[in-house]
Structures are given as C-alpha cells and as structure tokens.
Amino acid sequence: MSNRSLFRPLQLGSYTLKNRIVLPPLTRQRSTQPGNAANELMATYYQQRAGAGLLISEGTQIEPRGEGYAWTPGIYSPAQVEGWRKVTEAVHAEGGIIFAQLWHVGRVSHSALQPGGAAPVAPSAIPADRVSVFIETAPGAGTLVPPSVPRALSTAEVKELVQLYAQAARNALDAGFDGVEIHAANGYLVNQFISARTNQRDDEYGGSLDNRLRFLREVVQAVAGVVGPQRLGVRFSPLFTTTDEDRVYLGLVEDDPHATYIAAARVLEEAGIGYVSIAEADWDNAPELPEDFRRDLRQTFSGRIIVAGRYTAERGERLLEAGLADLIAFGRPFIANPDLPARIAHGWPLNALNPATMYGGGTAGYTDYPVHAG
C-alpha cells in the first residue's frame, strides 16, 4: 500500500474516521418528485460508497427558496427528513459516517423554482451572470436557463434565514446524520454575503469585510448550537484567478481572496468547528491553490482541513505528508468507483466516468458502476 497516509485513521471530534478519504458533496438530482425527498435509490448510492472515512451528502436545500436546480433534495419537510433517514441508516449499516451539507443557492435560482414564482432572494439585487440553473419543463425533463434577477433580503429576513439553517441542522440530526456541513462556497448564498461583488448592503451585513462575514458567523454559531461545534464543517471555494472560466465553475473571485478567506477561517476557528473544506478549481489545467494560502490556513485554523479538486491518490498523499491537509476528497472518481478506497489501497484501475449520466435519471450512471472483481 503506497498511499499509506490516506489509510491512517483520523479523529474528527468524537468520531474515528477509518481513513482520510472523503466522498464530497456531489449534486446528482435523483430525489423523489414531487417533494424533493431522498429515497431508496439514493440510499443505495451512498451505502455503496460507505468505504470512505467520511461521506458528505449532496447539497440539500434548507428551505423551498434555497433550490436552484430541479430534483435536488431538501431537508425542511417531514417527508424529506424521512427520506434522508433511509440514507443515513444504509450508511451506518456499513459502518460509515455521514454529514449533511446544508445548502441555500440565494440568487442562483429561477422564479420557476421559487414558491409562487417569486424572485430568488440574495444579499443584494444583483443578478448572477455566466451561470445557469436547471428547471423542470415536464416530468423527468428539464432545461438550463439563466438565473432570474433576485430581490434583496431585508435585515429581518436575513436573521430569519440564520434560524432556518439552525432548523435544518435539527432536521439533519432527526434524519440520523452524524453532523452537518454549511455550504459557503461556489457562489451560493453564504458566499454571496462574503463577497463584495454580490453584497452591496448598507446594514450590519454589508460594507466592511467583518460585516460581510457576519452572516457566516451567525449561521455557524446557530448551527453549532444545535449540533455541537465538532460536528460542524464549512466549505469554502477561494479562487485566486479572475478568468471567466473560473467564475463559471466556482462563482466569485475576490479582490484579495487570501485576506478574505483567512479572515473567514478565523471565524471558524473562534467557533471551534470540526473542519473546513476547501473546494479548489477542478477543471483541466486549473491553477494550483497558492502554497502561502495553504500554510496560512493551517496556521489560522486548528481543526481538520479537507481539500477537493481533481486530486489523485498520489497528489493527496503529498499534501497529507506535508501536513497541509488532513483529508482528501475525491469527486468524479467516487461517482464512477463506488469501491474507490479499495481501488486506491490495492492499486486497481478505475472505472471511467460517464458524464452523460451525472445529473438526473435513474440507476444508470448512479448505482450501476461495478466494483472491482478482486
């Protein structure tokens, strides 16, 4: 076993992870319709991948306004909680540990996905560009469209949203999840509050960096109050380049991303949360995350660090050995290889990913990828 660091157990709060391999949040759009509820098919999918040291669910919207793509699951209704319970029980039956990713897309939505056909909500009424959202056009069919122009949340509504995150965390515990992750990456709602490009508010949630981090701080505190800080993670996607392609894939590039996200990491450190997950640029020839940022993040945040973004086992191993990460997330390889940890451990070849079956559909390209015969 050449990738020995990947297979060393790791303590995450009260949990002992059997390895350093993570199934990251991966949108697959297989929830039951109508109602956006997790189901038996999803339970099978996650159970197949329970060999990971830690599984993190696909983004699950905390309220109806949080949906930006048709057929993604929620965690705000009793039926959704019951559906997710099928998933957590299936994972626990295999000895796995699974966190729920709490998601709100904010402005990255369309009125067709919003209650009553309303405008999406956001920190400021600034439309999202260079991105698409997915709406249903008929049962089982849909299309990509530009997001609708959002409306700005009132100060009172922002505070109500903080409590919606706390309620979603309660629902996640009800559903049997071992912890939760706050989605603060990829240009979605929490990221929209952090970014000066999308937050032009003049109340306590806008203006200075400290004010723009207030929503993150309050959500982290509220959710930690429900699940306990060590059962909480936060995902960021700090980008250090400014090409159009970067914005399409990950959302928002700050004028000073290093300062912004080290300050955000301090918020997490003050709250004493279990981990921070860094979603790196993951397309072909994507730029590397700067080494000085990795080192400053490690010095600022004393919890566990997860990294994700086109990692191979070898590249992940190097980062573990350097002490700059504690866990490595594998996205596309885990879609096509339900037994990915075993394949890495034994050096077995990987199944190829079929991009045509990533989003929506049934078992094809979801639960029918073969395990290795060895």
Which residues are annotated as catalytic? Answer: 188
Residue 58 backbone dihedrals phi, psi, to 5 degrees: -55, 160
Task: Scan for tokens 């990738």, then name that residue.
Answer: 3
Cα angle 131, 132, 137; round to 5: 175
What are the structure tokens assigned to 222, written together? 């509220």
CB distance 33 to 339 below 8 Å:
no
CA pair distance 155, 112, nearest whole angstrom: 25
CB distance 212 to 130 below 8 Å:
no
292 class by beta-carbon count within 10 Å (0-12 exposed, 13-18 middle, 19+ buried): exposed
Which DSSP string corresponds to 61-118? ESSGGG--BTT--BSSSHHHHHHHHHHHHHHHHTT--EEEEEE--TTS--GGGSGGGP
